[in-house]
Structure 1
Amino acid sequence: MAASNVVDVLERRYETYSSAKPAAPFAVRLNGSSAQRVGQGEPAFTIRVVDPRGMRALAELDQFGVAVAYLQGWLDVDGDLAAALRMRDFFTDFHPLARIGRFTPALLRGGRLADDSRTIGHHYDEDPDFFLTFLDRRHRLYSEGIFVTDDEPLEEAATRKLQTAFDALGVGPGDHVLDVGGGWGSFAEFAARRGVNVTTLTLSRPGARYMADLAKRDGLPMRVRYQHLFDFVPDRRYDGIVNLGATEHLPDYRTTLRRYADALRPGGRIYLDALAMRRKHMASTFLKRYVYPGASAPLLLHQYLRAVARSPFELVSIDDDRHNYHLTCAHWGRRLDDARDAIVARWGEPLYRRFRLFLWGSATGFDTGLVQAYRWVLRMPEQTGAARRSAV
C-alpha cells in the first residue's frame, strides 16, 4: 500500500475515533519522508515506519499487528509513548484464535506444574539482573508500592508497601510465614531481617536461585521451594501468608483458597495484592501472547469475593491500589528507558521493547481505568481444623 493511502486510512479512523473520545493528534513518518500529521494540533508522538511490514500493520488498523511491528523494530514511536498507548483502542484487537491455548487442559501440555512453570517462566525467567535495572533498588519489589505523594521516590513507596503487608499479618520474631510467588525475595528478606521464618514458593528457577543465594549469603531464615502452591504440602500451620502479585497466576480461586486454608493457623491472616480487570477477556492479545501466556489472568474481583464468601475466610479489608500501580509502573518505565543502552547491549533490543510496551502500557492502563488494582487482607477465624476444612 502506498504511503499516502496509509495516512488516508489513519485519518479516516482518527475522525471516527475522535468523535467518540478525546484523541491526541500524532504524526506518521513513512519511508523516510517528511512527517504527516493526523488530527489537529501539535503531534503528541510520531509513528516512524522503518520497514514495509510496519506500514502494512498500520494500514490494517490491528492493535496486535502494530505491537508485533514495534517489537520487531518495523516501526518505532518517537515522543510520548504513554500518549500513544492511551490510544491503543484506536486499533482493533480481535484475535479469538490467539487465546484458545489458555483453555487447553493443562494435562495435554504436560500437567499443571509443567504448564504453569513454562508460562510463568516466559515472563519471570529472564536474568534477575535485567529486572534489577528498573525495580526499586532497596527491595526489588515487583509489585505496586504505596505512595503518600505522587512525587515520592519509588524506594520509599516500596518500603511502605512491605511494612504495610508485614503489619497486616500481625507476625513477629519466631513466627512462620508462607510467601506465595516470592519474586526476588523482597518480602522474604524484609520479614526475615525482622526475625520471621519465611518459606517461599516460586516457579521461576532464576528467582529461586537468587533468593537461595541471598538467604545463604546473609544467613537469613528463608526456605526457598521451587514448587506450585497446589502441590505444596505444608509441614506446619503458618502464622501468616503473603501473596504479592501471584493471584493473577492462580485463577482457580476456590482451589487456591482451599490451599490457603490447609496452610494457615486459626486466627492467621493473608495479605494479597493483584492487578484486576472487570471481565476475563479484557487483557490484550499482546499481553496474552508476549507477557503472560497460558492460564494467567487479571483478578476478577467479583468472582474472587464470591469464592471468599464460600470459604471459611473473613474479608478484613480491601483497598483500591490503581493509582499506586500507575505511579509504580511509570517509575519502572522511566528506569527501563534510562537503562536502554545497557539493556540492549546485554540482553538485546527485543527484550527491551517487549518490557517497554508492557510497563508503559500498564502505566497508562492504570491511569485510564482500563486496569484496576487491589490489595486485601483475609483472616482465618478461630475454629477447629476439621470445621475449617469442611467449610471450604
Structure 2
Amino acid sequence: MTTFREHTDNSASNPDRKLTLAEVLEIFAAGRRPLKFTAYDGSSCGPEDATLGLDLLTPRGTTYLATAPGDLGLARAYIAGDLRLSGVHPGDPYDLLTALTERLEYKRPPARVLANVLRSIGIEHLKPIAPPPQEHLPRWRRIAEGLRHSKTRDAEAIQHHYDVSNKFYSWVLGPSMTYTCACYPHPDATLEEAQENKYRLVFEKLRLKPGDRLLDVGCGWGGMVRYAARHGVKVLGVTLSKEQAQWAADAVERDGLGELAEVRHGDYRDVRESRFDAVSSIGLTEHIGVANYPSYFRFLQSKLRPGGLLLNHCITRNNNRSHATAGGFIDRYVFPDGELTGSGRIITDMQDVGLEVVHEENLRHHYAMTLRDWSRNLVAHWDDAVDEVGLPTAKVWGLYIAASRVGFEQNAIQLHQVLSVKLDERGSDGGLPLRPWWNA
C-alpha cells in the first residue's frame, strides 16, 4: 500500500505530477490503513485484498470533500450517496471508522502538496454547493431561530434530533425507549437489562421511596418517569420533544401510572413546582450550553427541598480544556448547538451554586456497549428503518452511533454521573449515610 508519507514525499519531489482521485481521497482520509481507495476516474490505491475502504463515486462527492475537509465533507459525500463505505453495513460502519482512527506516522503535507491536490481535482470543485437536505443550518444562520440556547432555538434543535419518528427510535433503542447510556450489571447483560439497571441505579442514588416527589428534566420517552412511578414515587417529567411527550404520556396511561406520573411537553425552565425530594437530569446537560451551566444548576437547586438530591448524568469530554462546540458532522446532522466539556467543569459549577457533590463516576465503557447494542438493533431493522425515515437519514444514524462508539472506546468522550445534595442554611445534608448507600 502506498502510505500517506510516500504520497506527500512523492508529491514534494515531483510537485507537477497530477494526483489520481484515489490518491486525493487517501490524503483526505489522512493516510489511514488498512484501507483501499477507489474513485470514479478508475483510479485506486491501497492493498488489493483490503476488506475495508472508501469509494468516491461522483464529481459531486469530490466537491463535498474539497469544500469541507474533515468529518463534515466526508459525511456530506456519504449521506448524499457520493461516497461509499465498502466492507461494512451502513447501519454499523464501526469497523471502518475504527480503521480510520488507526493513524500512521503523520506529518502535515507541505503547502505545494496541497496546491497540487487543488490542481489535480480542478478549480471547478472548489465552489461550495448545497449540502444534503438532512443537514441543519450552520450556527451563524440559526440566529433566525433565536439566540443560542434560547427557548425557541432549543426547541427547534430538539425537534431536529428527537422528532424523527417514534417507530424508528423503537427499532434502534428497543422496548425501553431509552436514549441514554445503560449500566451493564455484567458483560453479557442484554440492553434491556442494562437500561433497567441504570434506572435502578439512579433511583437508589437519589434515595427515593414511596411517596417522594421526583422532577425528571429532559425525560425523553419517560423511562425514568415510569420506573419511579412503578416504585410509588410521584414524578413530573418534562421534554421539549412533542413526539416524546406524547409517546411517554401514552405509556404512562397504558401502564396504569396516571395517578403518580405526569409528562409535560415544554421547557424545563417553565416548571413552577418546587420542593422536590430529588431531581434527575439524564442526558439533558449536553443540550443546554456550557455557559448556561451555572443558571441550569441554580434552577435545579431551587426546585429541591433542603436535603434533596440531584443526579446529573451526561456525556463529557475527557478533559476540561477542549473547546465545547461539537464537530461539523455532529453539529449539522445530529445535535445542533450541542456542547460538551469535562466532568470537572460540571462539578465546579454545581459546587459554585451551593450544591455539595457527594459522588461521581464515569460510565464510559457502558456507553460504548450501549452504542454497540443500538447499532445491532439498527442493522436488524435496517430495511424497516429506511422505509420509515429514508436512506440518507438512516445513514446519518448508522454513522453517528458507530462513530460515538469509537469515541467512547478510545476515551475521546466519557459519561459521568454526578450526585449532589442541597444543604440547608446550617450546612446539613439531612442525614445522608456516611458511605454510598446504593448497590453498584
Q: Same fold by TM-score, threshold 0.5 exceeded?
A: yes
- 1:65 is aligned to 73
The 1:11–1:250 alpha-carbon spacing in structure 2 relative to 1, beyond 3 Å, is closer
1:378 corresponds to 2:415: no
**Corresponding residue to 1:8 among 12, 23, 38:** 23
Please tell me whether the aligned partners of residues 229 and 259 of structure 1 are also in contact (alpha carbons under 8 angstroms): no
The count of residues paired between Structure 1 and Structure 2 equals: 367
Q: CA deviation at 1:303?
A: 2.2
Q: Secondary structure of the residue that 1:316 maps to in structure 2?
A: strand
**Corresponding residue to 1:246 among 284, 293, 303:** 284
- 2:52 is aligned to 45
Q: Secondary structure of the residue that 1:27 maps to in structure 2?
A: strand
1:312 corresponds to 2:312: no
Please tell me whether the aligned partners of residues 206 and 278 of structure 2 are also in contact (alpha carbons under 8 angstroms): yes
**Corresponding residue to 1:222 among 240, 249, 261:** 261
Give the 5 Å matches for 1:1-392: 5-11=20-26, 17=30, 23-31=32-40, 36-38=44-46, 42-58=49-65, 61-80=69-88, 81-86=93-98, 87=100, 98-100=138-140, 107=146, 112-137=150-175, 139-220=176-257, 221-234=260-273, 236-251=274-289, 252-277=292-317, 278=319, 279-281=322-324, 283-294=326-337, 296-383=338-425
Report which of the two structures shows the higher radius of gyration computed on alpha carbons: 2
Q: Secondary structure of the residue that 1:182 maps to in structure 2?
A: coil
The 1:83–1:7 alpha-carbon spacing in structure 2 relative to 1, beyond 3 Å, is same
CA–CA distance in structure 2, aligned partners of residues 306 and 268 of structure 1: 19
Q: Secondary structure of the residue that 1:179 maps to in structure 2?
A: strand
The 1:158–1:232 alpha-carbon spacing in structure 2 relative to 1, beyond 3 Å, is same
CA–CA distance in structure 2, aligned partners of residues 24 and 147 of structure 1: 33
Q: CA deviation at 1:384?
A: 7.4
CA–CA distance in structure 2, aligned partners of residues 215 and 329 of structure 1: 26
Same amino acid, percent of matched pairs = 29
Q: CA deviation at 1:135?
A: 0.8
**CA displacement 1:307-364 (0-9 Å, x = unmatched):** 1221221111111111111111111112112211011112211220111111111111
Unaligned stretches of 5+ residues in structure 1 = 386-392
Please tell me whether the aligned partners of residues 58 and 82 of structure 2 are also in contact (alpha carbons under 8 angstroms): yes
**CA displacement 1:208-245 (0-9 Å, x = unmatched):** 111111222222121112221222211x4111111110
TM-score, normalization by structure 1:
0.85
CA–CA distance in structure 2, aligned partners of residues 291 and 343 of structure 1: 17
CA–CA distance in structure 2, aligned partners of residues 115 and 89 of structure 1: 38
Q: Secondary structure of the residue that 1:134 maps to in structure 2?
A: helix
The 1:204–1:357 alpha-carbon spacing in structure 2 relative to 1, beyond 3 Å, is same
CA–CA distance in structure 2, aligned partners of residues 168 and 383 of structure 1: 23
TM-score, normalization by structure 2:
0.76
Please tell me whether the aligned partners of residues 30 and 55 of structure 1 are also in contact (alpha carbons under 8 angstroms): no
Higher helix share: 1
CA–CA distance in structure 1, aligned partners of residues 197 and 278 of structure 2: 19
Q: Secondary structure of the residue that 2:372 maps to in structure 1?
A: helix
Paired letter, 1:28: F
RMSD over equivalenced CA pairs, Å: 2.9
Paired letter, 2:366: N
Q: CA deviation at 1:256?
A: 0.8
CA–CA distance in structure 2, aligned partners of residues 150 and 73 of structure 1: 37
